[in-house]
Amino acid sequence: MDCLNRRSWNQHAAGQIGHALFALMLVLTLAGCAGAGSGNGPGAAQTGVSSTTDPLPSWRNGAAKQSILKFVADVTHEGAPNYVPPAQRVAVFDNDGTLWSEQPIPFQLVFLLDQVKAAAPDHPEWKSNPAFKALIAHDSAALATHQKDLLQLIAAANSGMTVDAYDQTVRNWLATARDPKLNRPYTALVYQPQLELLAYLRASGFRTYIVSGGTIDFMRPWSQQVYGIPPEQVIGSSQAVKYELRDGHPVLVRLPKLDFVDDGPGKPVGIYRNIGRRPILAFGNSDGDLQMLEYTAGGSGESLELLAHHDDAAREFAYDRQSKLARLDKAWDEAIARGWTVVSMKDDWNAVYPEPKQ
């Protein structure tokens, strides 16, 4: 799918659209649409040298890797001054751009739009809808001028069903949808070094959480299988749901609005509501993660804050504030000023994606 016109989408839509789904779209599109590189370069999918002693084989031996190893050693060494009991070892990870790719457009937005297309046969009236026509024609410019119509289509196509039915819809989509440029399932576009880091933290007594601007219903169906993160440890934006009996069967039905936006200052709020503990490790990649990183750094003991830098045009994408993507601006400054760990995807990772399955 072509990249939508990000500027007009973000800056003009807010005043026009009262619908709560706008908040989701904003979250999903704020980080997207940078005019950056693409494709899977020659260095991609190297999973690193297998080792029985190195828990992070896809991490090159540099400052970032060392800061992780030192931190984990510090907080897990019983009797040491910075020891943290297992119950308090909470690690939080942003999802889009931190655990998997988010370019050229966040994958959840691709899914939402695919649901509009899938619902079209039940909505013959959409044939004359300008947003629907633009979507079918892949006309980004026209889509950008019919945002309100588009959001209404998305709301209609992604609500009304039970959460169980929606869960199955997400599973079905992931089983068949493929990234058009890399020709891989979206769940194969997770970062191999992060899979290793998640596993290493869990093996060190941490509980690993996703804290994402994406919605919980989109991530939960696959977070266990792909990341090893169970549904109860997936924190995100959430669709309002309503309890009811349908034909005598108790179900939760999706309503066409969001009841929580887990982004920016919403992330510490989501952490409070779902965990009730301040994390000791946070990993993000954008200004939407700034408050989560800041909140983690504000704890009373040792903590580790990490910021992924997308600087690898050959193997993934290169985008930061130099690429007109302001979204990385504040978090970047803060990371430099406070000595947080900036992780260069180009220099710190010797693989980006997992090896394709044979």
CB of 276 to a second copy, least distance (A): 3
Among 62, 228, 230, 356, binds a second copy (CB under 8 A): 230
Distance CA 303, CA 341 (A): 11
Q: How many residues bind a second copy (CB under 8 A)?
A: 35
Among 216, 308, 325, 328, binds a second copy (CB under 8 A): 216
357 touching a second copy, by CB under 8 A = no
Choice from 250, 322, 337, 358 touching a second copy (CB under 8 A): 250
Closest to a second copy by CB, 236 vs 354, is 236
Under rule CB under 8 A, residue 275 binds a second copy: yes
Neighbouring-strand partners of residue 215:
237
Amino acid at 33: C
> Which of the ranges 182-190, 194-202, 292-300, 340-348 carries the binding residues for a second copy, by CB under 8 A?
292-300
Nearer to a second copy, 83 or 272 (CB): 272
**Residue from 3, 156, 199, 252 in contact with a second copy (CB under 8 A):** 252
In the complex, least distance from residue 275 CB atom to a second copy, rounded to whole angstroms: 5
Binding mask 72-111 for a second copy (x = CB under 8 A): ---------------x------------------------
Among residue numbers 169 through 208, which ones bind a second copy (CB under 8 A)? 207
Q: Interface residues with a second copy (CB under 8 A)?
A: 87, 163, 207, 216, 220, 224, 230-232, 234, 238, 241-245, 249-252, 265-266, 268-269, 272-277, 291, 294-295, 297-298
